[in-house]
Amino acid sequence: MIAGALDTKSRLAAILFSIAAAVVLGGLVVGLTGANPVSVYLEIAKGAVLGRGLDETLARSVPLVGMALAAAIALRAGLVNLGGDGQMLIGGLAAALVALYLPVPGAARAVLALAAAICAGGLYAWLAAILQLNLGIPFLIASLLFSYIARGLTSYLVRYPLRDPATGMPETYRVASGARLPAHIFDLPVSMAMVIMVVVAVVVVVNDRSGVNGFEWRMTGLNARFAQYSGVDLSRQTQRVAFLSGAMAGLVGALLILGQQYRFTDGALLAPGYTWSGLMAAVLAMASPIATIVTSVFFAALQVGGFSMERALGLPAVLTWVLQALIILCLAARPILFRKR
Amino acid sequence: MTLLEMKGITKRFDGVIANDGISLSVNRGEIHALMGENGAGKSTLMNILYGLLKPDAGEILVDGKAMDFTSPLGAIAAGIGMVHQTFRQFPNLTVWENLVFQNEPRQGPFVSADAARDFVRRLGSRHGLEIDPDSLVRDLAVGIRQRLEILKALSREARILILDEPTAVLTPQERDGLFSAMRELAGKGMALILVTHKIPEVIAITDKITVMRDGRVSGTLVTRGTNEAEIIRAMVGRNVPPTVASRVTSDARPMLSVKDLSVRKGAVTVVDDVSFDVRPGEIVGIAGVSGNGQPQLISAVMGLEPATGVVSIDGQDISRLPIARRRSAGISYVPEDRHLTGTAPAASIAENIVFGTHRNAAASSKGFLRKDAIRAQARKLIERFRVKAASEQLPIGSLSGGNMQKVVIAREVEHGSPLIIVEEPTRGVDVGAIEFIHQTLIAERDKGRAILVVSSDLTELLALSDRILVMFEGRINASLTGSDMNEDTVGRWMMGGAENR
Ligand SMILES: Nc1ncnc2c1ncn2[C@@H]1O[C@H](COP(=O)(O)OP(=O)(O)OP(=O)(O)O)[C@@H](O)[C@H]1O
Ligand SMILES: [Mg+2]
């Protein structure tokens, strides 16, 4: 894939180059519409960090970092997980069910809901891995197709058996306030979801840099045959990595339900496109977890800035998605543009 | 009549000068050897000539005209062809499809298969390199695949042909075939550059020798006026006496015991009812013309190939275990293909060395890697095995071919397993390093390890082995010891055995 044999320095250079080139190209596009690219970029930057922008960027970073790490964990080990949507839905649904119906006290319910989401998302991805291992259906395809099944299933459930008839929407009842994740801890502008994501991200980074497991996953991603010769049980590892990648997506679903939306509304989890932004961030970071965190926070800021730019200038915020895509295209084109010989 | 001239070629990789003002000139009709220790810069120089790398300084003249290649396409247009050590072919396509690729004879918008077949036949007979245009490349023997590679270069009207370690993978017969083809091409006025580590070949076939050391030219010799010792001195700056191992016999309990092992591929039995033992304190060599089941035998012993029969280590039956468990039961393994299975080229040297033992206490504790210890161990092995590497943090893929091989050997020997299985221990390794690897294996034997060596190089097997098993058509048809271990006898058994006596 793109994550070739680049050392840290040239990887950083590649990322920065791609961003710079995309900014120039995006500027040209903006210029063609008659708007002033400089003021557009200025609005995006201001919107992302000034005033409430910073809070919004941080809030959006939580699911984006999560989905990006879910993609990166798999990518690092040589698996492409395109099923983040499905795993996030199943995780979110599991969290909602536990939070709504499990008869235990509030805080315990929240903890169990998180655990259920992690297991459900993980198992859902694990199933796709089993299809690859036993039936030879590539994980990339199976995980993607499973997303459609999850969409159909959750959509049906919240429309019929789990529906809150009081609202006109296809959605579940609201999670009781005791089972929610607090939006502020000690009145700080820090949510519980944020704290959880920081802890998880640290674990992922440490495991990648120094963990024995992280080392095995990375070497497998670089050369699976060599890993097999060196004693890695590829089948077991594929199952594990798939599970953890899905678990991460499931956790994101739970954090969104318990910390932000408080109920499972059909389509609400997928609307912001976290899975795909996350995947792009992971690809841009060439699956290195630290770089993935940086790129996904950057994408979150870009998106928040885009909305604010839309309000200020009336240009569509979708421009930021164009920028994201341009960045990835520039990254892919870089080896052709700069053949180092 | 100079056909090719390279002047003052310099190429730096970060930190390393791979080529430092190299000059090389080759005449029409000349076979020119390029020799030098591992990492001397031979492949770098040839990749520059073929347009794969851009030199930092220096110029290339073909027929007196200055060239500036930006890609191999430029080099090909200038009449330069290259036979790479690793073939660049489409294994699932036929010979003619491979040969005319990007140069297809057309009939309207379609590729004309008949014209292409005809083209292949004519090309082959013109150069005395006949080949069946309709065979699938993946079914061809290595020697024929190489012939295809040469034909591909010739089909683009090459006048200068580079061969990077072409004989490393060939049987003696295939090698002789290659040499007569090379002579024929030289006779037609082509210039050939042969990169190799094998001195007898150089003496047998070349006209001139350029020896490189540490990125510089350390000697230009005329083959007729030189000898083996002089070449070696130019290469390594000292004399290298060949290892002569004293042979031993061991009667210890077998460490590896193989009984009635068979491997079937469809209707063909590629390994046929093979039984043998390897005891602690001995080196057993497996000889055989390639294609007689040697790699399949080793794959079956390692658990990479479904097989019937029993394999046991130190009395423990491992026939049903996956490779990982077999290795932990006590096998170190140096696979034949180091890029594909022996290393992860993009990972660092240190990571490649520790991988496989990274769960041991020396390399990790409580699930975390001990990075300093891992790097220290890597530095120690780099020094002890004289690997030419600027740092243990570099990707192993940036090492020269021979140095990569040394790292793999170092890792497996350092494993400490009671049984070491080595395929092609010195493929692509320079003379000095060959002696070093041989001495290392013999020292491990003397420490009481059981060692199984598979090699297509008979000289190597004769130098190393205490016992030689000869494989022919999937069977072991001879087990030779003592005075029977000579080139003649082993060679006869390799060709089928008894009836030739
Ligand atoms: N892409 C690269 N990046 C960094 N260093 C490199 C690269 N390619 C080659 N080198 C270094 O340049 C030196 C010369 O390498 P080269 O492959 O030309 O040696 P060689 O003479 O072909 O050796 P061998 O006989 O082992 O094949 C080595 O020290 C090698 O590590
Ligand atoms: Mg080389």
Nearest to B386 by CA among B369, B365, B400: B400
In the Cβ-directed half-sphere of A118, how many Cα atoms lie within 13 Å?
Answer: 11
Tokens of B467: 């016992």
| B243-330+417-501 is classed CATH 3.40.630.30 | no
Cα(A106)–Cα(A179) distance, rounded to whole angstroms?
A: 4
Task: Decide: A310 and A267 in contact? Cβ < 8 Å.
Answer: no
**Strand extents, DSSP E, B335-402:** 364-365, 368-369
d(CA B484, CA B486): 6
Q: Distance of CA B433 to CAs A90, A204, A338, B187, B402, Å?
A: 58, 42, 37, 35, 8
Contact status, residue A218 vs residue A43, Cβ threshold 8 Å? no
CATH class, B2-236 region: alpha beta
Which residue does chain A place closest to B352, by CA atoms? A219
Nearest CB to A341; choose among B52, B341, B367: B52
Find, among A257, A326, A269, the residue nearest to A96 by Cα. A257
Size of interface A-B (CB pairs under 8 A): 72
Q: Is the CB of residue B397 less than 8 Å away from at least one CB of chain A?
A: yes
Q: How far is it, in rounded angstroms, from Cα B55 to Cα B45?
A: 9
For residues A215, A219, A222, A226, the Cα torsion angle rounded to the nearest 10 degrees is: 180
Q: Is B210 in the pocket of ligand 1 (CB under 6 A)?
A: no
Q: Tell me the C-alpha distance between B81 and B192, whole Å.
A: 10
Label residue A6 by pLDDT band (50, 70, 90).
Answer: low
B180 shares contact with chain A (CB less than 8 Å): no
Q: What are the residue ranges spanned by the domains of chain B?
A: 2-236, 243-330+417-501, 342-416
Q: What is the pTM of this model?
A: 0.85
Cα Dmax for chain B: 73
- Which of B355, B370, B393 is most worth mutating to test chain A (most A CB atoms within 10 A of its CB)? B355
Burial of A209 (0-12, 13-18, 19+ CB in 10 A): middle
Mutation target for A interface from B68, B73, B368, B391: give the one with most A CBs within 10 A.
B368
Domains of chain A plus CATH, in order, are 8-337 (1.10.3470)
Q: Residue B323 Cα, ligand 2 centroid: separation in angstroms?
A: 31
Cβ of B398 below 6 Å from ligand 1: yes
- Do the beta carbons of residue B452 and residue B425 sit within 8 Å? no
Instruction: Decide whether B2-236 matches B243-330+417-501 in CATH topology.
Output: yes
B299 and B333 in contact (C-beta within 8 Å)? no
Using a CB-CB cut-off of 8 Å, the residues of chain B touching A337 are none
Pocket test for ligand 1, best of B9, B10, B11, B44 (most atoms within 8 A of CB): B44
Q: What ipTM was predicted for this assembly?
A: 0.90
* CB atoms closer than 10 angstroms to residue B61: 15
User: In which element (H, E) is residue B268 found?
Assistant: strand B268-278
In this structure, what DSSP letter does residue B29 have? T
Task: Find the length of chain B.
Answer: 501
Q: Could you give the angle at which helices A139-159 and A234-256 cross, rounded to 10 degrees?
A: 30
Which two structure tokens, joined as six digits, stand for A324? Answer: 């994201």
Contact residues on chain A for B344, CB-CB shorter than 8 A: 219, 222-223, 226-227
Residue B53: list chain A partners with CB under 8 A.
341
- Whether the predicted pLDDT of A133 surpasses 60: yes
Cβ separation of B355 and A226 shorter than 8 Å? yes
Pairing status of strand B331-334 against strand B268-278: unpaired
Q: What is the DSSP string of B281-297?
A: T-EEEEE--TTSSHHHH
**Ligand 2 center to B37 CA (angstroms):** 9
Of B388, B352, B309, whose CA–CA distance to B44 is shortest?
Answer: B388
Q: What is the pLDDT along chain B (501 residues), one digit of tens a residue?
A: 899 999 999 999 977 899 999 999 999 999 999 999 888 999 999 999 999 999 999 999 999 999 999 889 999 999 999 998 777 888 889 999 999 888 888 888 888 899 999 999 999 888 888 899 999 988 887 778 888 988 988 888 899 999 988 887 777 777 888 899 899 999 999 999 999 988 889 999 999 999 999 999 999 999 999 998 888 888 877 766 666 667 788 788 999 999 999 999 888 899 999 999 999 999 999 998 777 899 899 999 998 889 999 999 999 999 999 888 888 889 999 988 777 888 999 999 999 999 988 988 999 999 999 999 999 999 999 999 989 999 999 999 989 888 999 999 999 998 889 999 999 998 888 888 888 899 999 999 999 999 999 998 888 899 999 999 999 999 999 999 988 998 888 888 988 776 544
Q: In B46-105, which ranges are E strands?
A: 57-62, 65-67, 80-83
Total Cβ atoms within 10 A of residue A257: 30
Is 90 exceeded by the pLDDT of residue A14? no
Q: Kindly report the CA angle at B382 between B377 and B386, in degrees rounded to 5?
A: 150
Angle formed at CA B158 by CA B153 and CA B161, multiple of 5 degrees: 75
Q: What was the pLDDT predicted at B75?
A: 94
Query: What is the Cβ-side half-sphere exposure of residue B170, based on CA atoms within 13 angstroms?
Result: 21
Find out whether B311 and B300 touch, Cβ atoms under 8 Å. yes
From start to end of chain A, where are the E strands? Answer: none
Q: How do B208-213 and B191-195 pair as beta strands?
A: unpaired
- Give the three-state DSSP class for A289: helix
Does the Cβ of B177 fall within 6 Å of ligand 1? no
Cα A245 from Cα A118, distance rounded (Å): 10
Q: Any idea of the CA torsion for B218, B222, B227, B228, to the nearest 10 degrees?
A: 50
- DSSP per-residue codes, B148-195: HHHHHHHHTT-SEEEEESTTTT--HHHHHHHHHHHHHHHHTT-EEEEE
CA of B18 to the centre of ligand 1 (A): 6
Report which protein residue has its CA nearest ligand 1's atom 9.
Answer: B398
Asked if residue B412 lies in contact with residue B420, where contact means CB atoms within 8 angstroms, the answer is yes
Q: Residue B320 CB: number of other CB atoms within 10 A?
A: 10
Residue B14, SS3?
coil
Whether residues B358 and A226 touch (CB distance < 8 A) is answered with no
Name the helix (H) or strand (E) containing A284.
helix A274-284
Query: Does the pLDDT value for residue A17 go beyond 80?
Result: yes
Q: Provide the residue count of chain A.
A: 341
